[in-house]
Amino acid sequence: MDKRLKKHGDRIKKRTEEALKRTKTPLPGEMLDMFTLDKEVQKFRLRVSSRMTSLAATWHSTKVVRTREKLSFFFGVMNVLISALMLGMSPQWIHIAYTAQACVLLPVRIYTYKKKQWHYFLFDLCYFCQILFLAFLWFMPWSPIMLMSSYCLAHGSLASAVITWRNSLVFHDADKITSLFIHVSCSLRYPCEVDFHHTVRLFDRYPPFVFTVIRHFYPDAELRFPALAKVPYMPPGKALLVSGLIYLVWQGLYWKFVMEARRKKIESGQRTTSFSYLLNDKRGVIGRMLGAVKPVWREPFFMFGQFVYALVTEIPAVFLLYDSKFWSGAFLLLIFGVSVWNGGGFYIEVFGRKFERELEALRKELAEATARSEGSSNSGRTSPVPSDDEGASSHDSPLMMSKPLPAIQITEPGLAADIHESEEDKKTI
């Protein structure tokens, strides 16, 4: 494109000089036209070169993934492999690996979200559950209440969020990997994915995996986790009651210290919460439902809906998963498969179509810039009239040509300003 543009510009300059030589003494207006045309061509070529450099840099940054993303991809893929190997070779190390990752990923998540002013999301249920899970694993492994509440919450609202929120397994994004970890850890918790942090919450999904291993694959689990001996089967009523009470504790704390104590910042738009994000998402089902409710009732309606959702998603864990190794494995495969499917869509659609849209935009912008350039070059210009024998040679002259410039995919948003500047130079001369 650069060679074609250079050749076209040289041809314009050469034919303009030849056309002026054929006439008598050039008029002042014709000299100004030649000066203006040459200046416009040079500026246009400069801007084309700049845009080509920018386009090349964009392509390079898309083609060559940054080192940080490579590391995230490497550790994300290796984490899946190592987890599978540990499940088959040493299941008793699964909860230790989960704890080690939590000690690294959670502080990183806190730092990055605080920096981006997303830290109100850290008060969501999934992070509250991480504290609950770690407390059971290392401080209260003898407590039946902690076991029932942790198992139900891990396999309930956390794991089901992969399907509900369309979380994606995107290995190159550390934020997405952390999100998936949070939702699948206890049995492969779901990756919490929101528009601005389209995250595969590998960390969120890890808890279901951990608790499934403890229940069905951990050798002599009753010795390490005495609560298992006290809960040979999951009592439905008691399990739902205990997990429901734990949920209400979190919901009360969240309402008091976030929705009430930070209301002014949230309403002013300085901070974003799950509720405010879903409320403003008019394309989502939850956003449309909340929009149909009176403003005074939206928060109670949202909190009640969350509570019902949490209890409903725990039903499979209470009646099926706790007692069946087969169905627990099938459940994990389902959750993991959904996140992989969504991740594949992310890679194909987001990366491919992003560059496609950019190229299309460049094509349209260059076409508009070319049209403006031709219009400004032909307007107000006195062109020499060729004789009959000169008709063949001057037929293609750029002063009279109607053929547009090559359709190069380059944007020229500042071209109009350059043309205006050229007109000012003409007046000054």
Domain edges within the chain: 54-188+199-357
| Exposure letters 386-408 (e unless 16+ CB within 10 A, then b) | beeeeeeebeebbbbbeeebeeb
Separation of alpha carbons 340 and 209, rounded Å = 16
Separation of alpha carbons 202 and 192, rounded Å = 9
Which range (196-200, 208-212, 320-324, 335-339) has the least confidence? Answer: 196-200
Is 197 in a helix, a strand, or coil? strand
* 119-178: pLDDT as tens digits: 898 999 988 999 999 999 999 999 999 999 999 999 998 888 877 777 777 765 555 555
pTM, to two decimals: 0.65
Is 355 in a helix, a strand, or coil? helix
Q: Would the pLDDT of 381 be above 80?
A: no
Q: Would the pLDDT of 297 be above 90?
A: yes
- Among the ranges 6-20, 82-96, 182-196, 256-270, which has the highest mean pLDDT value? 82-96
Q: Would the pLDDT of 407 be above 90?
A: no
Average pLDDT score over residue span 78-86: 90
Under 8 Å between Cβ of 151 and 317: yes
Is 243 in a helix, a strand, or coil? helix
Comparing 82 with 59, the larger pLDDT belongs to: 82
Average pLDDT of every residue of the chain: 76
For tokens 């369309």, name the residue.
166
Q: Residue 411 corresponds to which tokens in the numbers above?
A: 């944007």
> Closest Cα partner for 215 from 204, 199, 228, 229?
228
Residue 375 exposed, middle or buried by CB count within 10 Å (0-12, 13-18, 19+):
exposed
The helix/strand count (H/E) of the chain reads as 21, 1
Which range (17-21, 202-206, 213-217) has the least confidence? Answer: 202-206
Predicted local confidence at residue 135, as pLDDT: 96
> Closest Cα partner for 322 from 243, 223, 234?
234
Secondary structure percentages of the chain, helix, strand, coil, to 5: 75, 0, 25
Question: Strand ranges (DSSP E) for 88-246?
Answer: 201-204
* 221-235: pLDDT as tens digits: 999 999 999 999 999
Q: Residue 220 corresponds to which tokens in the numbers above?
A: 């002599």
Comparing 141 with 69, the larger pLDDT belongs to: 141
Separation of alpha carbons 58 and 66, rounded Å = 13
DSSP 205: B
Separation of alpha carbons 128 and 120, rounded Å = 12
Under 8 Å between Cβ of 154 and 129: yes
For tokens 């169905």, name the residue.
327
Q: Residue 275 corresponds to which tokens in the numbers above?
A: 């509720």
Q: Residue 318, CB half-sphere, CA atoms under 13 Å: how many?
A: 22
Is 381 in a helix, a strand, or coil? coil
Cα dihedral across residues 279, 351, 127, 209: positive or negative? positive
Predicted local confidence at residue 181, as pLDDT: 53
* 272-292: pLDDT as tens digits: 888 888 888 877 788 888 888
> Closest Cα partner for 281 from 160, 195, 179, 198?
195
Longest dimension (CA), the chain: 109
Dihedral angle, C-alpha 264, 269, 271, 277, nearest 10 °: 120
* Cα distances (Å, whole numbers) of residue 258 to 157, 171, 250, 255, 273: 21, 32, 11, 6, 9
Q: Residue 4, CB half-sphere, CA atoms under 13 Å: how many?
A: 8
The type of residue at 130 is Q
